[in-house]
Amino acid sequence: MEAYLPALGIFLLYFTFALIPTNLVEAYRLLWVIFSSLNYLLLGDNRTASLRSRSLFSVLSLDNNQLSGNIPDSLGNLSLLGYLGIANNQLRGSIPSSLGNLFLLEHLVINNNQLSGGIPSSFVRLSSLTHLYADANPFNETISSSSLPASLHYLSLSLNHHQSISETFFHNLTSLEYLYLSDCVLNISTTWIPPFQLSELYLVSCMIDSEFPSWISTQFSLESLELSNASLIGVIPYWILGTNSLLKHLNLSGNHLQGRLSSNNSIMHLEELDLSGNSLSGYIPSMWPANISLLLFNDNLFSGNIPLILGQLSKLWLLNLANNNITGVIPAILSNCSSLMVLNLGNNSLDGGLPHEFSKLSKLSSLVVHSNKLNGLFPWSIENCSNLQVLDIGNNLFEGEIPALIGNLSNLRVLAMKKNKFIGNIPSEIGQLKKLQILILSSNHISGSIPHTIISLQAMTSESQDGSVLSISGGSYKKKKIYKDPLDIISKGRDEHYKYILSTLTSIDLSNNELEGAIALDFGNWKGLKFLNLSMNNLNGTIPSSLGGIGQLESLDLSRNKFSGQIPLELDFLHSLGFLDLSNNHLSGSIPQGRHITTFNESCFSQNPNLWGCPLPKKCSWPQFVLPPPIPVNKEKQNTKDSWYGIALGLSYGVSFGGVVSLILIKISWRRICFNKIDTILKFMFPWMKNLRL
């Protein structure tokens, strides 16, 4: 028991240091005094578990702190260290060559710091070193082969600013089994025979810039291979997916690979295959090992049908065939993929309907089939896919009404159905979708009025700035990292492609339908809404002044409807508004001469016969008045302001009063302002009066 007391003391000291990130060099010196007298040390994370059993005093783990400054030379005196972990700090300078004295060191973990220079040549003496984690440091000297000990088993030097690596680098590394050299420049001849047998090789974003490196074919026990974004050209060599391959994980995404895949590849062990973003063509192979959990073929030139065999893959959680030329129907048998969480078949040439059997896919989180030729009724079978977050069936030929059961998909966050042939009303049940942040029903034949319940879409009500990425529901961290839902939406009048969806991306697009009636909704609820598009409908009545309460609104399109009456002054409060279109309506009166709204150009207001004022050419020659910033709308102020606004409007129409009366009124106002200091009211009245006078 007593033996642990000094350790406890150090423990406390450790926390003291962790809390004082400044002057760490001093802290280290102090630490060293204590170390050298006790000659051992402390703490640890998961990686240290195996070492701890060997000796309690052989571990120094200071990972994930705010350590800055240089690594002190004196660390090299802790000669009993077996594990040294100083990753995820802000350490600078070069690695002291004194660390080469740690002859018992097995793990050196220095990744994610600001270390420059290179690996000191003294490291070749670290004859016990098996694991070196040095990635994500800005090393600016070439790392020499003669500085790495032959004992290395695991070497990670990724993201080190395009280190150039040649074959001599590996000359002595005969024990290497795990090699991570992402973001490097490889200068290796095609005939090279490496001295090691790897089981994992990651060369992500390495500029290989040639055909598939043939030396990889000498790695007979390779289980995991990533060569993504490495400028590979040519075909995928047969031996990669051959009988003898032990590969479980293969990632060749983002290259320029061409050609067809062998239709009867006999690879036995494969679990994850990512071939996305190449120029591969031909059919999707129809033989797959039963353990496949992930197939990414998107963004290629694949053609032919979806192979029925995929329906037997009970572990498949992700199938992405988007952006190919796949034809035929969506096979009902896919519903046997009981683990399926993501099915993305978007932008192909599929026809037929969505199989009713899909109701069995209880884990399904994303169903994306946009831009095909799918038809039939709304895929009501998805009513039991209660995990569904993203349903994108846009750009197809679906027809019929939107069923009320849509309200049962309580996890839905994105509902995109644009450019189909849907008819009928928007079901009021839509308001039950508490998480819905994107609703796109544009370019259908939807009629009736906008249901009042829509205002209870809760995801639109939060002003949160936290932009977490929408990721699959119910998946592990790893799964969430691999797949993020992409989305195409029209915002601010432009087609935008989002590679992923942030929780702050909120949009309601009901444009180009046959909606009618007035929109008597209290939009003040939708504090978090960014894009609202109601254009090209038959909506009438006045523009609700509560639209002015959507503080984050960036784009508002009410064009090509039958809105009448005045443009509410409140629209001038929309300071984030970058796009506004009120054209082609029956609006009348003067455009509020506020600060923001007049910055939009003429076309935003055109084709409203009775509308006038800047920026329309009618009466546009009046001087512009710069107003002080408007006051946030709260209830009481709103009321006083409304009544004054009413008076102002009355005045603007009261032409019969003539200039004299208005001048008197101006004087009255001036007096009131002077005596009652109702500044706020003047800010609204003043321009109106000026308009009248002129």
Ligand X SMILES: *[C@@H]1O[C@H](CO)[C@@H](O)[C@H](O)[C@H]1NC(C)=O
The residues of the shown chain that bind ligand X, judged by CB under 6 A, are 36, 73-74, 76-77, 98, 116-117, 124, 140-141, 145-146, 168, 171-172, 204-205, 207, 226, 228-229, 251, 253-254, 272, 274, 294, 311-312, 333, 336, 356, 359, 381, 383-384, 405, 408, 442-443, 482, 490-493, 511-512, 533, 535-536, 555, 557, 579
CA dihedral of 303, 308, 312, 317, whole degrees rounded to 10: 40
DSSP designation for 537: S
Residue 165 CB, shortest distance to ligand X, in Å, is: 13
509 phi and psi, to 5 degrees? Answer: -125, 105
Distance CA 448, CA 424 (A): 7
Residue closer to ligand X (CB basis): 73 or 211 = 73
Residue closer to ligand X (CB basis): 251 or 662 = 251
Report how far apart, in Å, the C-alpha atoms of 367 and of each of 271, 373, 415, 642 are: 22, 16, 10, 47
Distance CA 473, CA 412 (A): 10
Neighbours of 669 (CB within 10 A): 19
Residue closer to ligand X (CB basis): 386 or 680 = 386
Residue 521 CB, shortest distance to ligand X, in Å, is: 18
Residue 36 CB, shortest distance to ligand X, in Å, is: 5
Residue closer to ligand X (CB basis): 105 or 681 = 105
Residue closer to ligand X (CB basis): 381 or 593 = 381
Residue 552 CB, shortest distance to ligand X, in Å, is: 15
How many angstroms separate the first and last alpha carbons of the chain?
94
DSSP designation for 71: P
Q: Which residue in 538, 534, 559, 556 sits closest to 547, CA to CA?
A: 556
Residue 599 CB, shortest distance to ligand X, in Å, is: 16
Residue closer to ligand X (CB basis): 289 or 654 = 289
Residue closer to ligand X (CB basis): 294 or 368 = 294
Distance CA 620, CA 517 (A): 33
- Write out the two tokens for 566: 């005045």
Residue 335 CB, shortest distance to ligand X, in Å, is: 8
CA dihedral of 474, 477, 483, 489, whole degrees rounded to 10: 70
Residue 227 CB, shortest distance to ligand X, in Å, is: 9
Residue 375 CB, shortest distance to ligand X, in Å, is: 18
Residue 240 CB, shortest distance to ligand X, in Å, is: 15
- Tokens 């995801």 found at: 459
Return the SS3 of 504: coil
Residue closer to ligand X (CB basis): 356 or 672 = 356
Residue closer to ligand X (CB basis): 108 or 682 = 108
Residue 124 CB, shortest distance to ligand X, in Å, is: 6
Residue closer to ligand X (CB basis): 330 or 651 = 330
Residue 567 CB, shortest distance to ligand X, in Å, is: 17
Residue closer to ligand X (CB basis): 11 or 32 = 32
Q: Which residue in 567, 629, 633 sits closest to 600, CA to CA?
A: 567
Angle at 140 between CA 137 and CA 144, to 5 degrees: 95
Burial class (CB in 10 A: 0-12, 13-18, 19+), 687: buried
User: What element of type H or E holds 187?
Assistant: strand 185-187
Tell me which amino acid residue 83 is.
Y
Residue 659 CB, shortest distance to ligand X, in Å, is: 41
Neighbours of 675 (CB within 10 A): 8
Residue closer to ligand X (CB basis): 112 or 669 = 112
- The CA radius of gyration of the chain, in Å to the nearest whole number, is 33
Residue 581 CB, shortest distance to ligand X, in Å, is: 6
Distance CA 32, CA 75 (A): 7
- Write out the two tokens for 469: 């990425």
Residue closer to ligand X (CB basis): 65 or 137 = 137
Distance CA 98, CA 102 (A): 8
Distance CA 394, CA 554 (A): 23
Angle at 92 between CA 91 and CA 97, to 5 degrees: 95
3-state secondary structure 390-452: EEECCCCEEEEECCHHHHHCCCCCEEECCCCEEEECCCHHHHHCCCCCEEECCCCEEEECCCH
